[in-house]
C-alpha cells in the first residue's frame, strides 16, 4: 500500500525536560570558554520555539519505537505506562480547528465567481514536471429517506439507478462509478436476477465499480452515538463482504452537515485508509485552500503517536453537485452537467449558459474550457492528482442520462489525452484510483512544508486535529438547528440503541449457554427480527434521519420501523429472562409465550412510553425481574407503578426490602395526580445479570413502604391532597430538599432550582435554572436563526409539589406562563442512596409539549446560570465517545456558537470546579455567557429554511427529557489551562453517571401473580465472575451472524466483544465516587470474564469484524504483526485509553 510507514513517534519525544535544564546550566558554565556554546545557544533557541509553539514536551511513550502496540511478550516485564487519564495532554499537529477559528475573521467576503473564495489564477507551468492527472468520479447520492421514504425512493429511482450502473458500465471498461449506501444495494439485491448480481460483482472485481464507505447509510456525525455508527457500518460492511465479496477501504461522506473526529477514528479502526468530506464551514474551506491544506491527516487529539491517523480529502466548494465540483466557477462547470440538457428532468443552469452536446467542431473549445477549471481547482491542492466528482442527488436514473454523461466526457477526455502539450491526462475513475495515484505521487515527490510535523501514515501533508462543527454553507447561515429538530425521535433512537445493545447481550448469553441444546432454537428463530432491528437503527443514523430533517411522512416511516423493532426486542428480552433464570435447570425448548413482559409500554410509534400498572391481588406476589446491561454491579433505587399503596417489596429470598411510596404525577393543569402510586426500593443487580424482586400484598411481617410527605404550593387555585398521603401547605419563598450529599434550594413561586450546597465541604454552587424561548423568523429543520436572545417564560404563581421520603426527594412544578397552556413542566429528584451512583447526581426531568400554535417559530431552552468562571470555554461530547473543547466567539453569531451534545456537556473554572449535564438524547448546547450552560429542548417552526426540505417542523410530540446534573471539585492541586487546545475528559464518576442514564435497568414483570403458598427458590443470573474495572466498558457483546451460528463449517469465531478503556480525568476522585477499581497498567484478563462460560479461542479484529486487528487499521510496524495476532495463553490483553478494541471469541459452557 503506497505511502504507508511504521508508527509515528512524537516529533520531539527525545527532548526531555531534564535534559533541557542541564543544557541551560552548561550554557552558563561554558559561555566564556567553550566554542561549542554557539551550538548550545542554537539548540536552546530551537527548544524555546518548540515550547512556545506546542507547549511543554511530552515524555515519550513506552511503546516500542516502531510499533503502535507492544508485543505481548513484553507485557509482564514492561507494564503499560501510557497515560490512563489523558489530563490535558494532546498530540501536536500542524493544524487544529481551534487554531483555524482563532485566526479566521468570518467576514464573509464576496470572492467573485467563487463567491466564498477568490479569483483563482495559475501561471501555466505548474504541470511541466508532473502532468495533471484528473480522475472524474461518477456518483449518485441516494438518501435513504428525505422527501420520500426509503422504499418510495427505491421504487421510483434507486433501483433504476443501480440497473443503469450495471448496464452502462458493462458497455465500456473505461467507465467507472462509486456507490455508498448498502441499504439500497441490499434492497436491489433482493429483486435483481442472478445475472445482474453477477454483473455487479464482476464490475466491482475489475475496478469499474467501487463501493465506498459501505455502511448501511451515510450517517450523520453530530447526533449519532458511536455505538449506532459502529452498528450501521458493521451491518453494511458485513452484508457487502458476505454477498459481493469486497471490503471497502475508502469512505465517502459528501452530505453530513459537519464532521466528527470520532468518525475518522472509527473508520481507521475499521480498516479504512482514506476518506472524503464536503460540508464544512465555507470560511474554513477558504482558509485551508489558501495554504493548500485541503488534504490532511486527521489525528485524534488524544492519540499522541498518530496510530489512528487517516488521510482526508476535503472538497473545496459550496456543494457536491456538478456546478460546484469541476472548478471554482459554477457558471462554467454547470455547462458540463450533460443531464441538464433538454429531455431530462433536471433544472437548467441558473447562470444562463447551458450544456451543449460535444462534437468534433466544438470539442477543442469545450475541452480547453473544462481543463481551465481543472487547472484552477488543482492549484488548491498540493499534488497534481485531481479529483472531480460527477453527480448529484439521485442521478443516473436512466441509461440515456448516463450515456449523455459518459459519452460527452469521453470525447473531452480523448481530446485532452491526445494533446501532450496540455500536460494533462483525464479519465473516469473511482476513489481508489484517485487515492492510489495520489499516494504514488507523494512517494515520488516530497510535498512537505518547512517545519511541518505531518504524519508517518503519509508524508507530504499536514496533520490536523479537531472537528468541523458548526457547519455554515453561506451568508453566515449556521446549521445548528438540526441538533434539536424532532427531539422526540432523537430520544427514540437512543432507546432503540440501548435496547438493541441489551438484547444482543442477552442473545449472546443464551446462545453461549444453550449451544446445540434445544433452547438455542428460540434465539435462532428470532435472528431475522434481530437483523431487522439492527438495520432499523442503522437506517435512522442517515443524515436526514436522526437529524430530524425529513418530510413528515418520512419521519413517520422511520418512527414506525423503530417502534416495530422496539416491540420485537422487548418480546425477545422477556423470553430471554425466562431462559436465563432457568438456564442451569432446564435447557429444553422454551414455550412460545413468555411468562414475563416489559414493564415499560409504548402503545404507538409517536407517543411516550408509560409504565405498566401492577395490580397485586390479596395474598399474592408479582415477580419483578431486573436486567443490568452494565459491566459493573448496580446498586440502584428503582421504581414501578402500582394501583394499591398497601403493598410491600420482597427480595428474591422473600425477605422484606425497605421501600417508599409516592403519588404518580402528570402534566395536567387541573389534575396533577393520577390516583396511582410509585413504589421505590433499592435493588442490587449483578453485571450483565438478572435479579428478582416481588411486589407482595397481604404478606404477614412484610415491611410496608414509607409514605412520602407532600408539601404543596398552589397559588390561587387549590390542589387536593391525594388519598392516603399527608399534605402541608408551602408558604416560604424558598424551599429546600436534601439527601446525604446535597441540599437543593428552590424558588417556590417559580419552581426553579437556585443553588446546590455540598454537605461534605459546605461549598455552594449557584445553579440558577431558567426556562426560556427564542423567537425566530428564519429557522427551519436545518438552520437556527434567532431574532434575538432567549427570553424567560416562567412567571410567579405556578403549582409546586414536594415529595419527601427515605429514598427519594422530588420537587415537581407545573409553572405559570403567559399562555393558557404551559409548554413545559419539570421535576427535580435526588436519591438517598449512599454508595450508589444515584446519590451523586441531581435528576432533572422536563415534560415538553410544543403542540400549540402559540409556540410557532419558537425554540425552547433550559439554561443554568452558575458562578463558575469558564472564560467562554466549555466542553461537549462527540458521539458519546470523546470530548471536544468549545469556545464562544463574539465574531460569529449566536447560532454559530451552538454545538451538538449527544450525551454530555460541562464547564469549569481553572481550579477544577466543574458543572456537568448528562443527557440520554442528542440536543444542542451553548455557553453564551460566563458561567452559563444552556440546552435547547425542542423547536416548532412554520417556515422552510431554503435547504431543500420544503416544509417547517410542526409535528412536535409531547416528550420527557431527562438530564443528570453533576457538580464536582478536583481532589488534586493541578490547574487546567482552559485556553489550551486540549479537551478535558470526564471524571470516572461522570462516566458512571453517563452509563446509569444511557444504559438503564430493564424491568420485566410476571404476567401472572404467584400465590402466597408457592414460594419459588431465589432467582438470579450472574454471568460475570465479578464487576469489570470502572474504566472498562463493554461497548457490545453479540453474535454478528446469528443465522450461521450452528454452521460449524465456517472457521470464523462466532461471538464478538468490543471493549473500551475509558479516558478519564484523574484529578477528580479516582474511586468514581465510591468503590471503583481501575485497570492496572492496562492489562486485562480476557479469559476470566465469565462465571460458567469458557473462552476457547480469541482473535483481535477490526471494528467492522472484517480485518485482523493489525491488518489495515493503523500504523503498525510489520515485524510486530505476527505477535499482535496472538493473545497470551492466559488471556491477557492490553487496553489503551480511549481505544476501542474488538475480539472475536469462541465460547463454550464450562464442563
Strands (E), 628-668: 634-642, 648-650, 656-657, 659-665
Could you tell me the sign of the dihedral formed by the alpha carbons of 1077, 1079, 1081, 1086, in that order?
positive
Helix (H) or strand (E) holding 526: none
Using an 8 Å Cβ cutoff, are 398 and 160 in contact? yes
Cα→Cα distances 123→129, 372, 380, 814, 983, Å:
14, 12, 14, 70, 43
| Nearby residues of 377 by Cβ (< 8 Å), 6 or more positions away | 120, 316, 326, 327, 328, 386, 388
Secondary structure letter of residue 335 according to DSSP: G
Q: How far apart are CA 509 and CA 518, in angstroms?
A: 15
Pairing verdict, β 726-729 and 709-713: parallel
Using an 8 Å Cβ cutoff, are 360 and 414 in contact? no
Using an 8 Å Cβ cutoff, are 858 and 440 in contact? no
Using an 8 Å Cβ cutoff, are 963 and 935 in contact? yes
Q: How many CB atoms lie within 10 A of CB 1011?
A: 11
Q: How far apart are CA 764 and CA 458, in angstroms?
A: 52
Q: How far apart are CA 116 and CA 288, in angstroms?
A: 12
Using an 8 Å Cβ cutoff, are 874 and 906 in contact? yes
Identified catalytic residue from 94, 143, 220, 255: 255
Cell 410557532 identifies what position? Answer: 856
Q: How far apart are CA 764 and CA 736, in angstroms?
A: 14
Q: How far apart are CA 884 and CA 535, in angstroms?
A: 29
Q: Which neighbouring-strand residues pair with 742?
A: 758
Of 1097, 1118, 1121, the closest CA to residue 1110 belongs to 1121
Q: How far apart are CA 1002 and CA 638, in angstroms?
A: 10
Q: How many CB atoms lie within 10 A of CB 891?
A: 10
For residue 242 the three cell numbers come to 458476505
Cell 454491579 identifies what position? Answer: 633
Using an 8 Å Cβ cutoff, are 923 and 483 in contact? yes
Helix, strand, coil % over all residues of the chain, rounded to 5:
25, 25, 45
Of 781, 906, 89, 886, the closest CA to residue 467 belongs to 886
Q: How far apart are CA 812 and CA 713, in angstroms?
A: 10
Pairing verdict, β 613-614 and 634-642: parallel
Q: How far apart are CA 1135 and CA 1061, in angstroms?
A: 6
| Nearby residues of 970 by Cβ (< 8 Å), 6 or more positions away | 911, 912, 913, 914, 1067, 1068
- If 0-12 CB within 10 Å is exposed, 13-18 middle and 19+ buried, where does residue 936 land? buried
Q: How far apart are CA 253 and CA 394, in angstroms?
A: 15
* Residue 955 is a catalytic residue: no
- For every residue of 678-733, DSSP letters joined together read EEEEEEEE-TT-EEEEEEEES-TTPPPPEEPEEEEE-TTS--PPPTT-EEEE--SS
Distance of CA 1015 to the CA centre of its chain: 46
Q: Which residues are catalytic?
A: 255
Amino acid at each position: 500500500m503506497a505511502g504507508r510507514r511504521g508508527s509515528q513517534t512524537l516529533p520531539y519525544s527525545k527532548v526531555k525536560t531534564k535534559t533541557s535544564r542541564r543544557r541551560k546550566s552548561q550554557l552558563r558554565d561554558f559561555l566564556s570558554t567553550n566554542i561549542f556554546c554557539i551550538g548550545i545557544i542554537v539548540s536552546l533557541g530551537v527548544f524555546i520555539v518548540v515550547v512556545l509553539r506546542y507547549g511543554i514536551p511530552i515524555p515519550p511513550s513506552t511503546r516500542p519505537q516502531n510499533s503502535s502496540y507492544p508485543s505481548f511478550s513484553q507485557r509482564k516485564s514492561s507494564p503499560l505506562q501510557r497515560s490512563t487519564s489523558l489530563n490535558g495532554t494532546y498530540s501536536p499537529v500542524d493544524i487544529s480547528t481551534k487554531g483555524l477559528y482563532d485566526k479566521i475573521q468570518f467576514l464573509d467576503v464576496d470572492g467573485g465567481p467563487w463567491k466564498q473564495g477568490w479569483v483563482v489564477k495559475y501561471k501555466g507551468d505548474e504541470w511541466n514536471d508532473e502532468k495533471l492527472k484528473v480522475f472524474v468520479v461518477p456518483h449518485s447520492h441516494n438518501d435513504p429517506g428525505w422527501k420520500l421514504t426509503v422504499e418510495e425512493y427505491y421504487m421510483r429511482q434507486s433501483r433504476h439507478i443501480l440497473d443503469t450502473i450495471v448496464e452502462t458500465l458493462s458497455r465500456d471498461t473505461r467507465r467507472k462509478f462509486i456507490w455508498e449506501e448498502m441499504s439500497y444495494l441490499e434492497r436491489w439485491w433482493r429483486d435483481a436476477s442472478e445475472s445482474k448480481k453477477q454483473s455487479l460483482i464482476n464490475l466491482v472485481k475489475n475496478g469499474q465499480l467501487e463501493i465506498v464507505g459501505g455502511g448501511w447509510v451515510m450517517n450523520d456525525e453530530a447526533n449519532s452515538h458511536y455505538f449506532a455508527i459502529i452498528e450501521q457500518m458493521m451491518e453494511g460492511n458485513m452484508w457487502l463482504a458476505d454477498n459481493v465479496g469486497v471490503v471497502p477501504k475508502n469512505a465517502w461522506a459528501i452530505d453530513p452537515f459537519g464532521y466528527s473526529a470520532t468518525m475518522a477514528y472509527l473508520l481507521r479502526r475499521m480498516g479504512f485508509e482514506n476518506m472524503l468530506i464536503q460540508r464544512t464551514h465555507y470560511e474554513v474551506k477558504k482558509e485551508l485552500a489558501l495554504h493548500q491544506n485541503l488534504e490532511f491527516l486527521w489525528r485524534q487529539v488524544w492519540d499522541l503517536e498518530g496510530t489512528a491517523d487517516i488521510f482526508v480529502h476535503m472538497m473545496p466548494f459550496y456543494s457536491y453537485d456538478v456546478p460546484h465540483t469541476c472548478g471554482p466557477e459554477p457558471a462554467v462547470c454547470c455547462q458540463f452537467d450533460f443531464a441538464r440538457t433538454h429531455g431530462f428532468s433536471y433544472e437548467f443552469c441558473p447562470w444562463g449558459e447551458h450544456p451543449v452536446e460535444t462534437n468534433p467542431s466544438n470539442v477543442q473549445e469545450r475541452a480547453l474550457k473544462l481543463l481551465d477549471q481543472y487547472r484552477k481547482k488543482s492549484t488548491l491542492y498540493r499534488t497534481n492528482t485531481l479529483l472531480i466528482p460527477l453527480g448529484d442527488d439521485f442521478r443516473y436514473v436512466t441509461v440515456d442520462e448516463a450515456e449523455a454523461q459518459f459519452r460527452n466526457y469521453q470525447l473531452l477526455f480523448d481530446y485532452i489525452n491526445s494533446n501532450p502539450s496540455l500536460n494533462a491526462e483525464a479519465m473516469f475513475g473511482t476513489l481508489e484510483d484517485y487515492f492510489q495515484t495520489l499516494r504514488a505521487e507523494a512517494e515520488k515527490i516530497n510535498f512537505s512544508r518547512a517545519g511541518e510535523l505531518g504524519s508517518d501514515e503519509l508524508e507530504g501533508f499536514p496533520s490536523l486535529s479537531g472537528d468541523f462543527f458548526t457547519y455554515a454553507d453561506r451568508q453566515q447561515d449556521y446549521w445548528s438547528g438540526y441538533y434539536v429538530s424532532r427531539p422526540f425521535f432523537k430520544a427514540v433512537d437512543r432507546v432503540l440503541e440501548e435496547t438493541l445493545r441489551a438484547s444482543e447481550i442477552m442473545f449472546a448469553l443464551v446462545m453461549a449457554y444453550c449451544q446445540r441444546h434445544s433452547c438455542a432454537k428460540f434465539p435462532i428463530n428470532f435472528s431475522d427480527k434481530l437483523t431487522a432491528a439492527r438495520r432499523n437503527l442503522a437506517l435512522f443514523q442517515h443524515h436526514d434521519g436522526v437529524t430530524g430533517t425529513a418530510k413528515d411522512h418520512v419521519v413517520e416511516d422511520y418512527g414506525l420501523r423503530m417502534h416495530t423493532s422496539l416491540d420485537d426486542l422487548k418480546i425477545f428480552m422477556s423470553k430471554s429472562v425466562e431462559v436465563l433464570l432457568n438456564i442451569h435447570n432446564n435447557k429444553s425448548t422454551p414455550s412460545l409465550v413468555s411468562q414475563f413482559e416489559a414493564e415499560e409500554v409504548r402503545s404507538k410509534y409517536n407517543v411516550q412510553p408509560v409504565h405498566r400498572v401492577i395490580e397485586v391481588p390479596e395474598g399474592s406476589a408479582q415477580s419483578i425481574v431486573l436486567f443490568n446491561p452494565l459491566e459493573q454491579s448496580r446498586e440502584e433505587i428503582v421504581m414501578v407503578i402500582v394501583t394499591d399503596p398497601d403493598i410491600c417489596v420482597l427480595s428474591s429470598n422473600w425477605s422484606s426490602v425497605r421501600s417508599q411510596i409516592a403519588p404518580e404525577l402528570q402534566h395536567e393543569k387541573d389534575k396533577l395526580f393520577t390516583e396511582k402510586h410509585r413504589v421505590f426500593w433499592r435493588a442490587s443487580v449483578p453485571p450483565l445479570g438478572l435479579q428478582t424482586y416481588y411486589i407482595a400484598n397481604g404478606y404477614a411481617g412484610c415491611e410496608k413502604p414509607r409514605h412520602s410527605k407532600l408539601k404543596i404550593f398552589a397559588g390561587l387555585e387549590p390542589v387536593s391532597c391525594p388519598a392516603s398521603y399527608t399534605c402541608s401547605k408551602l408558604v416560604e419563598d424558598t424551599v429546600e430538599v436534601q439527601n446525604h450529599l446535597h441540599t437543593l434550594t428552590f424558588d417556590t413561586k417559580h419552581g426553579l432550582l437556585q443553588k446546590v450546597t455540598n454537605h461534605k465541604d459546605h461549598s455552594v454552587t449557584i445553579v440558577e435554572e431558567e426556562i426560556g424561548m427564542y423567537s425566530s423568523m428564519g429557522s427551519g429543520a436545518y438552520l437556527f436563526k434567532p431574532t434575538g436572545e432567549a427570553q424567560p417564560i416562567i412567571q410567579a404563581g405556578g403549582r409546586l409539589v414536594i415529595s419527601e421520603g427515605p429514598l427519594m426527594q422530588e420537587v415537581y412544578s407545573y409553572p405559570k406562563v403567559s399562555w393558557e397552556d404551559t409548554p413545559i413542566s419539570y421535576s427535580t429528584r435526588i436519591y438517598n442512596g449512599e454508595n450508589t451512583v444515584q446519590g451523586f447526581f441531581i435528576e432533572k426531568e422536563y415534560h415538553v409539549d410544543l403542540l400549540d400554535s402559540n409556540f410557532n417559530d419558537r425554540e425552547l431552552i433550559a439554561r443554568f446560570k452558575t458562578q463558575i468562571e469558564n472564560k467562554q470555554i466549555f466542553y461537549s461530547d462527540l458521539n458519546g465517545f470523546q470530548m471536544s473543547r468549545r469556545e464562544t466567539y463574539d465574531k460569529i453569531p449566536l447560532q454559530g456558537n451552538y454545538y451538538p451534545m449527544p450525551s454530555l456537556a460541562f464547564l469549569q473554572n481553572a481550579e477544577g470546579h466543574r458543572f456537568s449535564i448528562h443527557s440520554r438524547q442528542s440536543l444542542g448546547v451553548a455557553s453564551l455567557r460566563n458561567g452559563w450552560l444552556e440546552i435547547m429542548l425542542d423547536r416548532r417552526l412554520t417556515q422552510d429554511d431554503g435547504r431543500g426540505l420544503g416544509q417547517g417542523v410542526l409535528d412536535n410530540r409531547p416528550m420527557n427529557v431527562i438530564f443528570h446534573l453533576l457538580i464536582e471539585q478536583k481532589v488534586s492541586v493541578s490547574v487546567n489551562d482552559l485556553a489550551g487546545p486540549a479537551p478535558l475528559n470526564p471524571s470516572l464518576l461522570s462516566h458512571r453517571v453517563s452509563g446509569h442514564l444511557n444504559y438503564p435497568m430493564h424491568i420485566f414483570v410476571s404476567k401472572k401473580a404467584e400465590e402466597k403458598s408457592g414460594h419459588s427458590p431465589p432467582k438470579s443470573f450472574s454471568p460475570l465472575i465479578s464487576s469489570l474495572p470502572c474504566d472498562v466498558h463493554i461497548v457490545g457483546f453479540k453474535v454478528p451472524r446469528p443465522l450461521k451460528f450452528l454452521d460449524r463449517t465456517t472457521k470464523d469465531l462466532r461471538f464478538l466483544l468490543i471493549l473500551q478503556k475509558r479516558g478519564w480525568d484523574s484529578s477528580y476522585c479516582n474511586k468514581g465516587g465510591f468503590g471503583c477499581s481501575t485497570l492496572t497498567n492496562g492489562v486485562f484478563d480476557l479469559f476470566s470474564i465469565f462465571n460458567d462460560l469458557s473462552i476457547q479461542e480469541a482473535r483481535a479484529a477490526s471494528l467492522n469484524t472484517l480485518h485482523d486487528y493489525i491488518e489495515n487499521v493503523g500504523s503498525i510496524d510489520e515485524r510486530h504483526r505476527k505477535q499482535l495476532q496472538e493473545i497470551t495463553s492466559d488471556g491477557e490483553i492490553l487496553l489503551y485509553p480511549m481505544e476501542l478494541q474488538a475480539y472475536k471469541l469462541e465460547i463454550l459452557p464450562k464442563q
